[in-house]
């Protein structure tokens, strides 16, 4: 018996397609689309999926054409805008299929009612269309990751652990930073997605182990944001951004029950970022570390004549002071040095095809 899948393309954006709909549309089964100009349909077609359009306009005529087509296929997909049962031809298709011996599977879809935003009782915030689209897309991403990790999923994904994925988390983070440095919004969109994948991947591993789920991660984050923004979600009054940072640091210290300012600073941070974080902690509540160009000049003089065992400490003090001055100027020292190093690399590439410095060819004997 032939099987006809009635697929709904949802109210518009492709982000609102269900995972099942995506699977069927990308399955390679014969595909007909009622309205190829619909937003989600355009996104699908941009991926190169083969499809047939519908020339008929009368619902009964469409139904008759679809059933004749379905009988020639083992399994096929007919896609319409919105929910499949909202299409005018839906009932005629179901009626004609029963007498033609075609098995019809109606695939649920998001409707306009399903996507109506609502106020969050915890925060009083209103989830508008971008938030709704993001939430639905995120739900699909989590479902895809669970599928990849399922018993009949991808062998590579199933073999991964938190440890084996750590290097990918670092790589994706640096690729995000690179896109930011290049101010490339197209790459940034893609790299943020790759970074998000790592977060969802780790959460799925934890879920498989019974430790926590992605929902726990998100709820913990929401609770943290609400708790550390009492000037928004409470009755605290602040005079500016500096007080916001001060409150954040104090609330973080209280919430985590830290006993010293050194608690919670990762030792494997990049050196400049490590120094930056230590200065913020020691200063207390986000106030800038006391630094001056006069002190920097003194350290430069000391470094110029330093040698032997003392050189390490002297240059360390010099770099620490530079980090403090950068912080006072509102500059990220880690990012500034990375961008400057990249600029020097490109300035000295010498037109090499691979973008790297070409060393002179050694003279022949």
Cα distance between residue 245 and residue 60, in whole Å: 65
Q: Residue 7: which H helix or E strand, with range?
A: strand 2-8
Of 255, 248, 259, 310, nearest to 285 by C-alpha is 248
Strands of 62-177, DSSP E = 75-80, 102-107
Higher pLDDT, 15 or 239: 239
100/28 same-domain check: yes
**What rounded mean pLDDT belongs to the chain?**
82
171, 202, 227: which is the final residue of a domain? 227
* Whether the Cβ atoms of residue 267 and residue 260 lie closer than 8 Å to each other: no
Enter the pTM of the model.
0.56
Asked whether the predicted pLDDT for residue 352 surpasses 50, the reply is no
* Whether the Cβ atoms of residue 278 and residue 311 lie closer than 8 Å to each other: no
Is 126 part of a structural domain of the chain? no
Is 246 part of a structural domain of the chain? no
Instruction: Residue 56: give its domain's CATH number.
Output: 3.40.1010.10
73, 107, 141: which is the final residue of a domain? 107
Of 105, 25, 19, 20, nearest to 70 by C-alpha is 105
CA 301 to chain centre: 46
The tens digit of pLDDT for each residue in 186-234 reads: 999 999 999 999 999 999 999 999 999 999 999 889 888 888 888 877 7
What pLDDT shows up at residue 222? 87
| Antiparallel, parallel or unpaired: β 52-53 and 2-8 | unpaired
Specify whether the backbone of 234 is left (phi greater than 0), alpha (psi in -120 to 50) or beta. beta
Q: Please identify which residue in the block is written with the tokens 């500096």.
A: 242
Give the tokens for residue 312.
């390490």
Residue 20's pLDDT band, with cuts at 50, 70 and 90, is confident
SS3 category, 31: strand
- Bridge partners (DSSP) of residue 52 are 32
Of 68-82, 107-121, 235-249, 268-282, the range with the lowest mean pLDDT is 107-121
What pLDDT shows up at residue 349? 67
- Average pLDDT of span 263-280: 81
Count of domains for the chain: 3
Structural domain range at position 203: 132-227
What pLDDT shows up at residue 113? 45
The tens digit of pLDDT for each residue in 25-68 reads: 888 899 998 888 887 778 777 777 788 888 888 999 999 999 99
Higher pLDDT, 264 or 85: 85
The tens digit of pLDDT for each residue in 126-178 reads: 555 566 667 778 888 998 999 999 998 999 999 999 999 999 998 999 999 99
Cα-Cα-Cα-Cα dihedral of 199, 201, 207, 209, to 10°? -120
């Amino acid at each position: 018996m032939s099987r006809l899948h009635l697929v709904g393309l949802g109210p518009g954006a492709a982000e609102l397609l269900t995972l099942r709909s995506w699977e069927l549309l990308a399955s390679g089964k014969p595909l007909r689309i009622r309205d190829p100009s619909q937003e989600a349909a355009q996104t699908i077609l941009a991926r190169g999926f083969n499809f047939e359009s519908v020339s008929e306009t009368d619902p009964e005529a469409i139904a008759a054409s679809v059933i004749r087509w379905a009988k020639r296929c083992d399994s096929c997909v007919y896609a319409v805008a919105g929910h499949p049962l909202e299409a005018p031809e839906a009932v005629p298709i179901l009626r004609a299929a029963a007498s033609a011996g075609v098995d019809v599977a109606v695939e649920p879809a998001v409707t306009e009612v399903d996507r109506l935003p609502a106020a969050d009782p915890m925060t009083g915030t209103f989830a508008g269309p971008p938030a709704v689209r993001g939430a639905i897309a995120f739900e699909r991403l989590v479902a895809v990751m669970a599928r990849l990790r399922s018993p009949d999923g991808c062998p590579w994904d199933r073999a991964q652990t938190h440890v084996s994925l750590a290097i990918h988390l670092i790589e994706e983070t640096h690729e995000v930073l690179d896109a930011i440095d290049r101010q490339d919004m197209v790459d940034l969109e893609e790299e943020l997605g790759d970074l998000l994948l790592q977060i969802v991947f780790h959460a799925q591993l934890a879920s498989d182990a019974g430790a926590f789920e992605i929902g726990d991660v998100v709820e913990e984050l929401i609770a943290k944001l609400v708790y550390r923004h009492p000037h928004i979600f409470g009755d605290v009054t602040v005079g500016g951004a500096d007080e916001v940072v001060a409150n954040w640091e104090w609330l973080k210290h209280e919430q985590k029950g830290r006993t010293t300012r050194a608690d919670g600073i990762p030792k494997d941070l990049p050196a400049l970022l490590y120094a930056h974080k230590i200065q913020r902690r020691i200063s207390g509540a986000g106030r800038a570390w006391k630094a001056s160009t006069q002190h920097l000049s003194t350290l430069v003089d000391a470094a110029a004549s330093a040698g032997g065992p003392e050189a390490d400490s002297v240059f360390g003090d010099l770099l620490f002071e530079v980090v403090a001055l950068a912080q006072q100027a509102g500059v990220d020292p880690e990012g500034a040095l990375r961008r400057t190093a990249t600029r020097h690399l490109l300035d000295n590439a010498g037109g090499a095809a691979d973008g790297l410095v070409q060393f002179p060819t050694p003279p022949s004997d």
